[in-house]
Amino acid sequence: MTDALEIQRVEYAYSRDVALRGVSLGVDAGEIVAVTGPSGCGKSTLVHCAAGILRPQAGTVTLAGRNLAELTEAERTRVRRTQVGIVLQFGQLVPDLSLKDNVALPLLLEGHHAAAARRAALGWLERVGVAEDSEALPSELSGGQNQRAAVARALVTGPAVVFADEPTGSLDSRAGEQMMELLVASARDGGAALVIVTHDNLIAAYADREVRLRDGVVQHEVRLS
């Protein structure tokens, strides 16, 4: 299999705190990896470096065959837009736009024709089960419905890797389970690798492999399936 994501000896420090101390991690295409660990261990920082949101101070991140360190900001943005999908804890949908327009945004930013982008968005909203609410605003729907739309937004561009940072953190256990089943099925359906950040063992159990971080280093890796 081809590596969807290759992280080698990545280091990152905020002004005072060192978050990552030489973390390495490889993710194959279609693989599901759970990054676990206690709060403050560097999980989200690792994902932000892997997704090209933060620039690591040392080490390399290769995403879909592109070394992010060698890219300009515009090129990194384009890689992020086309090769990365991201699902965050609270959905982070634009509150003033309908679900359909929220899902269409990455395609519109990429320059797709509006009608085509909205058709694709509607298709993904159908797949995640909220098509009937496509014209609703995020504030008119539940957290679970918003998260479903966030999954659609993450996958609408056909990314190589989907990062989910505590995707069920704002949901109850039943909605969380449904969310994970949807996320895993959608990622597999789209052929994307899935990296889930979680501190919940039940969520980590959906992964093929668990990578546990502690104090900015990989404590251990376990193959789950």
Using CB under 8 A, list all residues that contact other proteins. 44, 48, 51, 53-54, 77-78, 80-81, 84, 86, 88-90, 92-97, 101, 105-106, 108-110, 113-115, 117-118, 137, 139-140, 153, 165
| Secondary structure of 112-173 as H, E, C letters | CCHHHHHHHHHHHHHHHCCHHHCCCCHHHCCHHHHHHHHHHHHHCCCCCEEEEECCCCCCCH
Q: Which is nearer to other proteins, 85 or 209 (CB)?
A: 85
Min dist. Cβ of residue 166 to other proteins (A): 9
**Residue type for position 52:** G
Min dist. Cβ of residue 182 to other proteins (A): 19
For residue 15, the 8-state DSSP code is: S
Q: Which is nearer to other proteins, 36 or 146 (CB)?
A: 146
Q: Which is nearer to other proteins, 137 or 208 (CB)?
A: 137
Tokens 């056909």 sit on residue: 158
Task: Report the run of H or E that residue 215 belongs to, with start and end.
Answer: none
Min dist. Cβ of residue 145 to other proteins (A): 12
Min dist. Cβ of residue 98 to other proteins (A): 8
Min dist. Cβ of residue 221 to other proteins (A): 25
Distance CA 82, CA 155 (A): 10
**Residue type for position 120:** A
Q: Which is nearer to other proteins, 105 or 209 (CB)?
A: 105
Q: Choose among 155, 32, 146: nearest CA to 84.
A: 155
Q: Which is nearer to other proteins, 69 or 97 (CB)?
A: 97
Tokens 């599901």 sit on residue: 32
